Amino acid sequence: MTTREDLAKWDAQDPLAPLRDLFDLPAGTIYLDGNSLGALPRATAARVQEVVTREWGAGLIGSWNSAGWIDLPHRVGDKIARLVGAGPGELVVADSTSVNVYKVLKAALAIAAADAPGRNVILSERTNFPTDLYVAQSVAREHGCELVLIEPDEDPADRLDDRVAVLMLTHVNYRTGRMWDMAGITAQAHERGIVTVWDLCHSAGAVPVDLTGAAADFAIGCGYKFLNGGPGSPAYVWVSPRHADRFAQPLSGWMGHAAPFAFTTDYEPAPGIARYVSGTPAVIGTAALECGVDTLLAAEPYGGMVALREKSLALTRLFADLVDERVSGFDIESPRDDEQRGSQVSLTRPEGAYAIVQALIARGVIGDFRAGQSGLPDILRFGVTPLYTRFVDVWDSVEHLRQVMESDEWRDERFSQRLAVT
Amino acid sequence: MTTREDLAKWDAQDPLAPLRDLFDLPAGTIYLDGNSLGALPRATAARVQEVVTREWGAGLIGSWNSAGWIDLPHRVGDKIARLVGAGPGELVVADSTSVNVYKVLKAALAIAAADAPGRNVILSERTNFPTDLYVAQSVAREHGCELVLIEPDEDPADRLDDRVAVLMLTHVNYRTGRMWDMAGITAQAHERGIVTVWDLCHSAGAVPVDLTGAAADFAIGCGYKFLNGGPGSPAYVWVSPRHADRFAQPLSGWMGHAAPFAFTTDYEPAPGIARYVSGTPAVIGTAALECGVDTLLAAEPYGGMVALREKSLALTRLFADLVDERVSGFDIESPRDDEQRGSQVSLTRPEGAYAIVQALIARGVIGDFRAGQSGLPDILRFGVTPLYTRFVDVWDSVEHLRQVMESDEWRDERFSQRLAVT
């Protein structure tokens, strides 16, 4: 049996351990919700202050040139590209995940209409993150398409027929942490003439992603989870260079124009990924996002995403094993197979998921609750972030869970009072 | 003839003068570009720091509830509403101006199709800000509509026929500062069954706006000009309560859902303006925007927008008069009629506009250059912000302009080198 002392040794020997110092983590808290909002990097506060006081306050409008604001979406985009197997100039920071889903779905339908005309199905999965489904419903309605949802236990390959124009999947599922085989599924889709859209919200910065190697078509993702960009951070969008110049996405704001400062009357899309920018870039938020992305790039001398992945799998494996050994009454919803598991462990129970999460939060162990979707059970989510999660944190979290259950503490009615945001 | 000493007396007697202390303005600079990027409010740096370190860093994910992040787009929206004659719960902070133009144009077309079917023209004006035109081109293409552009000297009323579904105008023109009669034009449009979209980018916080009084239909605007929200600040969107529940805008992200945290599979739009939110709100940027809006609300005890407008008109009138009196070779493009002039003065000249602006910037007088659009001339723009612009600033700016012209200093070739952002 593993002991806490064993895990303290693991931490002491962990070559990634120094990376924890890149973060400002509150004392007395074990933060297992970096899959919902990444923790604050130590560099961010000073950098944001610099943007506000020096660049905006002193530099004023001139900082669009002198502080490089105009290039910021591309500069930070190039950094994110390194985390997801994309090339420089292929990925840009812009807008929110929801808005970017809209852009790439419209573009993917246009590419599909050109290359494999007459198809009218967008295929996705029922437990995809709701915003992806909501936007897909809207796009399907606008284009006279049908949104078809497979069940989470179905193999998408079985549904890739010649009615399907676009397959949109989230690489790592937000509920269970289950990870799709991006390269294999993309290849199967392409064999059938289907364009792929990958949502990387729970995978970029959490698992190695290789968009180029997978020959993917479109990808989007958010900045505030594993990229540590801060609350409501701008999102990003990637388009394969095969497709980038073939379609002008419809949110054709001036910053995606070939020459924004020519102030011409007619829209002319910029070449490449720049056309996926719409309005004026969110400078402060993008600067904060850069600090977050830098925390992941700081792992490059330590082995980068491969080393982070190895630690992440060890942490989640440990979490699941300790729950098995030490706590009863929970099912582990996340795949036990390393190949299929992202950077989280999700538990289910017939009752009490919400209250148990709240009782843990009261003890300083911060995971989160996600309401059951489509008849599936409520879940307790525990995300690990190998940049700052320690092995003893996993031990202590499971120990708190054990105590919360054994003491029936979670049945205290204050833990059942629903907050606005869960 | 007015002298600088006279103007120093005007400043000394100006009841709004103390409001200048709400801003951190760099020494040695006369900032006349608040119509492009508002100056830094003194409160912003500390508030942003609080959001980053205390709310995000210490509060982590819990701040969605405890720091009220989830309500932020509505709380700040309600404050902006006070500046534009809208009611609480009618206006929300979200996305960029460009993205919001897309939402409201789609919604306006849907309302028009329901109330006055069979129309297929979106009417706008050729020198509208390009992003509005670019997005309108995209929406027109998607809907099989025609985008018809009147010339800047035409009266929109002459073109409001029964082919027109939607009239989209910018209340104050970004080039000339010319202001439309919102109430009059809206009434004329409504008589002909036409839905109106008003862009308030250059009017909110600069001139009194009364959306309710004008019975307007849709409005959008940006946060980083006269609202002083910072570079790339989130924008906002207002929909008349007559229309808000009649159409679900297509960027149907989860934060516009009636119950985002129910994680249901199907989109159900939230009631009212909340459905115009798409993705997760940009918390840091919205908090900065709130500080900017607060600088305008701080003028309420001094007479609010009415008093600010009076000072703004006095400043722009003075600017135009001093240019007339003291500098030769410029035409004043902005209306001399107070009723028709926003909060800026635009000058034109047959040559050298760009270099003259750069020469002024080198002297610490920051205006900006806008390239000629649609055969119209290049312009030199000088925006006044009555919260912080002083009468002596206007004198000194015109004096610098006089010296730049008399000395031929602007012909130095370094001032002709084009920067990426103009």
User: Per-residue pLDDT tens for A302-315?
Assistant: 999 999 999 999 99
CA A398 distance to own-chain centroid:
25
Residue A333 has pLDDT above 90, yes or no: yes
pLDDT at A309: 98
Q: Annotate B138-163 with DSSP letters as a single string.
A: HHHHHHT-EEEEE-TTS-GGGG--TT
Report the DSSP pairing between strands B40-41 and B23-24.
Answer: antiparallel
ipTM over 0.95: yes
Q: Which residues of A are annotated as a binding site?
A: 97-98, 129-132, 170, 199, 202, 224, 254, 280
pLDDT at B292: 98
- Model confidence at B93, in pLDDT bands (50, 70, 90)? very high
Residue B97 is labelled as binding a ligand: yes
Averaged pLDDT, A190-210: 98
pLDDT at B374: 74
Averaged pLDDT, B156-161: 96
Please confirm, yes or no, whether B23 is among the known catalytic residues.
no
Report the DSSP pairing between strands B91-93 and B236-239.
Answer: antiparallel
Q: Running DSSP on this structure, what letter comes out for residue B18?
A: G
Half-sphere exposure of B86 (CA within 13 A, CB side): 30
Contact call for residues A195 and A206 (beta carbons, < 8 A): no
Q: pLDDT tens digits for A237-265?
A: 999 999 999 999 999 999 999 999 999 99
pLDDT at B356: 98
Residue A422 has pLDDT above 90, yes or no: no
Q: What distance in Å separates residue A91's CA from the closest CA in chain B?
A: 19
- Residue B158 CB burial class (10 angstroms; 0-12, 13-18, ≥19): exposed
Please confirm, yes or no, whether A79 is among the known catalytic residues.
no
Strand order in the sheet with B195-199: B91-93, B236-239, B218-221, B195-199, B164-170, B121-125, B146-150
A232·B284 Cβ contact <8 A:
yes
Q: What distance in Å separates residue B2's CA from the closest CA in chain A?
A: 30
Tokens 């405890």 correspond to what residue? Answer: B66
- Count the neighbouring beta carbons within 10 Å of the beta carbon of residue B343: 29
A residues 212-271 closer than 8 Å to B (CB): 222, 224, 230-235, 248, 250-255, 257, 260-267
Q: Does A173 touch chain B (CB under 8 A)?
A: no
pLDDT at B373: 74
Q: Does B27 touch chain A (CB under 8 A)?
A: no
Residue A374 has pLDDT above 90, yes or no: no
Averaged pLDDT, A31-35: 97
Q: pLDDT tens digits for A5-30?
A: 999 999 999 999 999 999 999 999 99
**Could you tell me how many CB contacts below 8 A there are between chain A and chain B?**
296
Contact call for residues B254 and A98 (beta carbons, < 8 A): yes
Chain B positions touching A126 (Cβ under 8 A) are 265
Q: What distance in Å separates residue B406's CA from the closest CA in chain A?
A: 25
Averaged pLDDT, A167-172: 98
Q: Which of A44, A56, A267 sits opposite B230 (nearest CB)?
A: A56
Averaged pLDDT, A174-199: 98
Q: Which of A49, A420, A422 sits opposite B45 (nearest CB)?
A: A49
What angle in degrees, to the nearest 10, is found between the helix axes of B391-406 and B353-362? Answer: 120
A216-246 exposure pattern, b = at least 16 Cβ within 10 A, e = fewer? bbbbbbbbbbbbbbbbbbbbbbbbbeebbee
Structure-model confidence comparison of residues B361 and A422, the more confident one? B361
- Amino acid type, B267: Y
Tell me what percent of the residues of chain A surpass a pLDDT of 90.
98
Phi, psi of A68 (to 5 degrees): 70, 20
Q: What rounded mean pLDDT belongs to chain A? A: 97
Q: Which of A73, A83, A31 is nearest to A285 (CA)?
A: A73
pLDDT at B139: 98
Q: In whole angstroms, give the CA distance from residue B174 to residue B1.
A: 31
Q: Does A17 touch chain B (CB under 8 A)?
A: no
Q: pLDDT tens digits for A40-92?
A: 999 999 999 999 999 999 999 999 999 999 999 999 999 999 999 999 999 99
Averaged pLDDT, B176-193: 98
pLDDT at A375: 82
Please confirm, yes or no, whether A381 is among the known catalytic residues.
yes
Residue B244 has pLDDT above 80, yes or no: yes
Q: pLDDT tens digits for A260-301?
A: 999 999 999 999 999 999 999 999 999 999 999 999 999 999
A58·B422 Cβ contact <8 A:
no
Q: pLDDT tens digits for B342-352?
A: 999 999 999 99
Chain B positions touching A101 (Cβ under 8 A) are 253
Q: In whole angstroms, give the CA distance from residue B65 to residue B60.
A: 10
Instruction: Give the DSSP H/E element, type plus range, for residue B50.
Output: none
Averaged pLDDT, B385-398: 98
Residue B233 has pLDDT above 90, yes or no: yes
- In chain A the domains, ranked by start, together with CATH numbers, are 4-31+304-416 (3.90.1150.10), 47-297 (3.40.640.10)
pLDDT at B420: 87
Q: Which of A225, A309, A311, A363 is catalytic?
A: A225
Here the tokens at position A13 are 């020997």
- Model confidence at B203, in pLDDT bands (50, 70, 90)? very high
Contact call for residues B50 and B176 (beta carbons, < 8 A): no
